[in-house]
């Protein structure tokens, strides 16, 4: 019986950008891409953590312009495909043209789970210009599966080749993942994918659950490097899928070598589930809020966990990073008034 193929996209050089405050160097990008490409990773994503055009005061400035990093990554690829992320409202079609000119073959168009309609322009342009389009419905824990399917159908109608259920907060339990993925698999004609964060320690288990429900594309990050407590660890994911009888086309030994030799040396700190990243998953807030909350906590002398919990209570979403400072200031004022 032929093994079912699952495509893994490695997002070390995009989601991992959050964990290093968007300070990747060209040399680091080249080394990571060489290692992943040699290991047979089929898709490698390279972008600012918040996607094309994300380098800004609000999200954090990149150390190196994206165009240079994309061209460097493409030069190191012999078999992998180059992917980029774009969030409509942050990145523009002009940014997408730049990425395509740099060799990007796949664009991942990401919106909040209730805002699929803002993706039409970017999806349409990419399809007309020969790019594969994968779409992200972020913070998917915030709406029920039927509502998520309604939004996914909009993206499918615009031309998406694959639609991802994205656990941006790392807040979902396996049953949550199963419900959402199975609903999209049953209700769509295109492929379905899944992107996990590890804030509750469930990234690998949730990804396996998604695959069992029919997801054909999933994401990983080498050494788990990513926002919050990181993503499903690519080398662990490849090993788990091999043991479970799935085909990925990845050489596990070479992938482990890439993790140890190219990625681990650039980790700013161990990627672990500490008190703050655990709170991200518990509160259900955007994983990339973690560093912003820590910085605000230090500035105003409050607990980052209190900031994250309040952000969760307010049902904040990606793009509201500026609200973190306001919440921190309010918490500090409340404490002073007591």
Q: Which residues are catalytically annotated?
A: 18
The Cα–Cα gap between 18 and 289 comes to: 9
- DSSP class of residue 270 equals -
Element (H, E) at 163: strand 162-166
Distance CA 140, CA 168 (A): 7
- Per the listing, tokens 């980790």 go with 267
Cα–Cα distance for residue pair 138/116, rounded to 1 Å: 10
Q: 328: burial class by Cβ within 10 Å (0-12, 13-18, 19+)?
A: buried
CB-based burial, 171-196: b 16+ in 10 Å, e otherwise: bbebebbbbbbbbbbebbebbbbbbb
The DSSP 8-state label assigned to residue 137 in this structure reads E
Alpha-carbon gap, residue 219 to 44, rounded angstroms: 10
Residue 317 near residue 139 (C-beta atoms within 8 A)? yes
């Amino acid at each position: 019986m032929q093994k079912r193929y699952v495509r893994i996209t490695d997002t070390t050089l995009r989601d991992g950008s959050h964990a290093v405050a968007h300070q990747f160097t060209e040399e680091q990008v080249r080394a990571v891409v060489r290692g992943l490409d040699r290991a047979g990773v089929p898709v490698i994503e390279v972008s600012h953590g918040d996607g094309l055009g994300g380098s800004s005061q609000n999200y954090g400035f990149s150390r190196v312009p994206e165009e240079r990093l994309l061209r460097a990554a493409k030069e190191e690829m012999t078999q992998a495909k180059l992917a980029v992320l774009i969030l409509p409202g942050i990145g523009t079609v002009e940014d997408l043209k730049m990425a395509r000119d740099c060799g990007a073959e796949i664009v991942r168009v990401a919106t909040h789970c209730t805002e699929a309609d803002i993706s039409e322009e970017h999806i349409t342009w990419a399809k007309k210009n020969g790019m594969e389009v994968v779409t992200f419905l972020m913070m998917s824990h915030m709406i029920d599966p039927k509502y998520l399917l309604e939004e996914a159908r909009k993206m499918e109608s615009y031309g998406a080749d694959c639609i991802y259920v994205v656990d941006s907060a790392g807040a979902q339990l396996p049953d949550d993942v199963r419900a959402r993925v199975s609903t999209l698999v049953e209700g769509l004609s295109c492929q379905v994918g899944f992107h996990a964060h590890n804030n509750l320690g469930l990234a690998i288990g949730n990804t396996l659950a998604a695959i069992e429900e029919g997801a054909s594309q999933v994401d990983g990050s080498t050494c788990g490097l990513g926002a919050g407590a990181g993503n499903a660890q690519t080398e662990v994911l490849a090993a788990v899928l091999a043991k479970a009888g799935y085909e990925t086309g990845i050489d596990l030994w070479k992938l482990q070598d890439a993790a140890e030799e190219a990625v681990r040396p650039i980790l700013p700190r161990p990627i672990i589930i500490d008190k703050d990243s655990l709170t991200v998953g518990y509160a259900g807030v955007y994983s990339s809020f973690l560093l912003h909350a820590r910085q605000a906590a230090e500035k105003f002398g409050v607990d980052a966990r209190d900031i994250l919990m309040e952000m969760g209570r307010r049902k904040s979403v990606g793009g509201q990073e500026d609200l973190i400072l306001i919440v921190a200031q309010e918490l500090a004022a409340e404490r002073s008034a007591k």
